[in-house]
Amino acid sequence: KVSADKYTYKVPAPRVTGLSPTAGSTLGGNAVTITGSGFSGATAISFGTTAAASFSVSSDTTIQVTAPAGTDHVDVTVTTPAGTSATSAADQYYYYIPAAVTGLSPTSGPAVGGTKVTITGSVLFAATAVKFGTASALYTVISNSKIVATAPAGAGAVDVRVTTPAGTSAVVTADKYTYIAAPAVTTLSPTTGPAVGGTKVTISGSGFSGASAVKFGTIAA
């Protein structure tokens, strides 16, 4: 053996092939899984020029990292003793401002659902879900500041919140939607009267506030 016969195998530089999710809030804090190769011994993870404060190397092909705060879109790179991963389309991470709900129209509807509700706010274009309380709603994104959603069935007062890759809109007074229970008749007194009408009838039940009509069969009283 002589020094002249030495041959050194280089450990390949890390390579990033994917991120999940690929977007998050400008405030940071999003948990991101980085996939690729050559991650063993990673010493740093950077989102653009900002180093991530917390990460864990799960294996040579997987890293769990907490995204730092940022803006726009950046390359996520991994550094090991073998070098830093080259940038590519696969390592792009996008920062979004969280959505905000500033108003609803109308602000109430029947408990059975089905009401078309216009949601106004900001950063709504990237919506991935709309919920009335805990119930998911069907919706259409009209613009960055408007969504039209169909209220699902529900009860009481709930918050209407919009979820985007940056997270879910904060609870505010302006996002309150109230479900109005349908009226229910439980008793009548008296239960009979002359065909010519004119009998004073007391109707008992629930949900009568705001009543707009009372009918005896098809005839309005």
Nearest Cα residue to 158 out of 172, 139, 141, 138: 172
Instruction: Give how far Cα 169 sits from Cα of 53, 68, 163, 166, 178, Å.
Output: 25, 20, 6, 9, 18
Confidence of residue 210 (pLDDT cuts 50, 70, 90): confident
Q: How many residues does the chain have?
A: 221
Query: Contact at 8 Å (CB) between 132 and 112?
Result: no
Task: Tell me what percent of the residues of the chain surpass a pLDDT of 70.
Answer: 99
Confidence of residue 89 (pLDDT cuts 50, 70, 90): very high
Report whether the peptide linkage leading into residue 190 is cis, meaning its omega lies within 30 degrees of zero.
yes
Query: Contact at 8 Å (CB) between 104 and 174?
Result: yes
Q: What angle do CA 150, 155, 158 make, to 5 degrees?
A: 70
Amino acid letter, residue 198: G
Contacts of residue 157, defined as CB under 8 A and 6 or more positions apart, other chains included, come to: 176, 177, 178, 179
Confidence of residue 138 (pLDDT cuts 50, 70, 90): very high
What pLDDT digit, counting tens, does each position of 105-123 carry?
Answer: 999 999 999 999 999 999 9
Amino acid letter, residue 83: G
What pLDDT digit, counting tens, does each position of 5-21 carry?
Answer: 877 667 789 999 999 99
- Helix (H) or strand (E) holding 186, with range, is strand 184-189
Q: Helix, strand, or coil here: 209?
A: coil
Q: What is the pTM of this model?
A: 0.67
